[in-house]
Amino acid sequence: MVATVMAAITVCAAESGAPTGVPDVLKTVAGKPVTTVETWEQVRRPEVLELFKTHVFGRNAVERPSTLRFEPIEPDREMMEGKALRKRVNIRYSGPGGEGAIALTAFIPKAAQPVPAFVLICNRSSAKHIDPDRLTKNPFFPAEELVARGYAALAFHNGDVDPDFHDGFTNGVHAVFQPDPSVRKPDAWGTIAAWAWGASRVMDWIETQPTIDRTRVGVVGHSRGGKTALWCGATDTRFALTISNNSGCGGAKFNRMALPKSESIARINKSFPHWFCTNYKQYGDNEDALPVDQHMLVALIAPRLAYVASATLDDWAGQPGEFHSCLLASPVWRLYGQQGLVGETLPAPDTPLHQGRVGYHLRTGKHDLTLYDWQRFMDFADKHK
Ligand code: GCU
CA distance 142 to 252: 24
Beta bridge partners of 230: none
Work out the percent of the chain whose per-residue pLDDT is above 70. Answer: 95
CA distance 332 to 315: 28
Measured CA angle at 235 (ends 209, 140), to 5 deg: 65
Cβ 221 under 6 angstroms from ligand 1: no
CA distance 363 to 381: 18
How far, in Å, is the centroid of ligand 1 from the Cα of 28?
A: 32
Asked if 301 and 234 touch (Cβ cutoff 8 Å), the reply is: yes
pLDDT for 243 equals 99
Burial of 31 (0-12, 13-18, 19+ CB in 10 A): exposed
Q: Is residue 13 pLDDT above 80, yes or no?
A: no
CA distances for 4 relative to 8, 294, 300, 340, angstroms: 6, 20, 29, 25
Cβ 244 under 6 angstroms from ligand 1: no
Cβ 249 under 6 angstroms from ligand 1: yes
Q: b vs e for 68-80, b when ≥16 Cβ sit within 10 Å of the residue's Cβ? A: eeeeeeeeeeebb
Q: What is the average pLDDT across 35-57? A: 98
Q: Whose CA is nearest to atom 12 of ligand 1?
A: 224
CA distance 101 to 104: 9
- Residue 353 binned pLDDT confidence (cut-offs 50, 70, 90): very high
pLDDT for 21 equals 86
Beta bridge partners of 109: 84
Q: Is residue 333 pLDDT above 70, yes or no?
A: yes
Asked if 318 and 263 touch (Cβ cutoff 8 Å), the reply is: yes
- Residue 20 binned pLDDT confidence (cut-offs 50, 70, 90): low
Nearest alpha-carbon partner for 376 in 357, 366, 363: 363
Cβ 228 under 6 angstroms from ligand 1: no
Question: Could you tell me the fold of the domain covering 2-383?
Answer: Rossmann fold (3.40.50)
Give the start-to-end residue ranges of the domains of the chain.
2-383
Ligand 1 pocket, mutate which of 263, 265, 367 (most atoms under 8 A from CB)? 263
Mean pLDDT of the chain: 95
How far, in Å, is the centroid of ligand 1 from the Cα of 72?
A: 33
- Residue 364 binned pLDDT confidence (cut-offs 50, 70, 90): very high
Look up the pTM and report it.
Answer: 0.95
Annotated active-site positions, please?
223, 367
CA distance 325 to 346: 11
Nearest alpha-carbon partner for 293 in 51, 102, 70: 51
CA distance 265 to 287: 7
How far, in Å, is the centroid of ligand 1 from the Cα of 322?
A: 14
**Secondary structure letter of residue 213 according to DSSP:** E
Q: Which atom of ligand 1 is nearest to the CA of 223?
A: 10
pLDDT in tens, 254-278: 999 999 999 999 999 999 999 999 9
Q: Is residue 106 pLDDT above 70, yes or no?
A: yes
Asked if 385 and 305 touch (Cβ cutoff 8 Å), the reply is: no
**Secondary structure letter of residue 33 according to DSSP:** B
Q: Which atom of ligand 1 is nearest to the CA of 267?
A: 8
Q: Is residue 206 pLDDT above 70, yes or no?
A: yes
Residues 6 or more apart in contact with residue 159 via CB below 8 angstroms: none
- Residue 76 binned pLDDT confidence (cut-offs 50, 70, 90): very high
Q: Which residue intervals of the chain are DSSP H helices? A: 2-17, 37-39, 45-52, 126-129, 143-148, 158-161, 172-177, 191-206, 224-235, 265-271, 294-299, 319-335, 371-383
Sheet of 84-95: strand order equals: 69-79, 84-95, 98-109, 152-157, 115-122, 212-222, 241-245, 305-311, 358-363
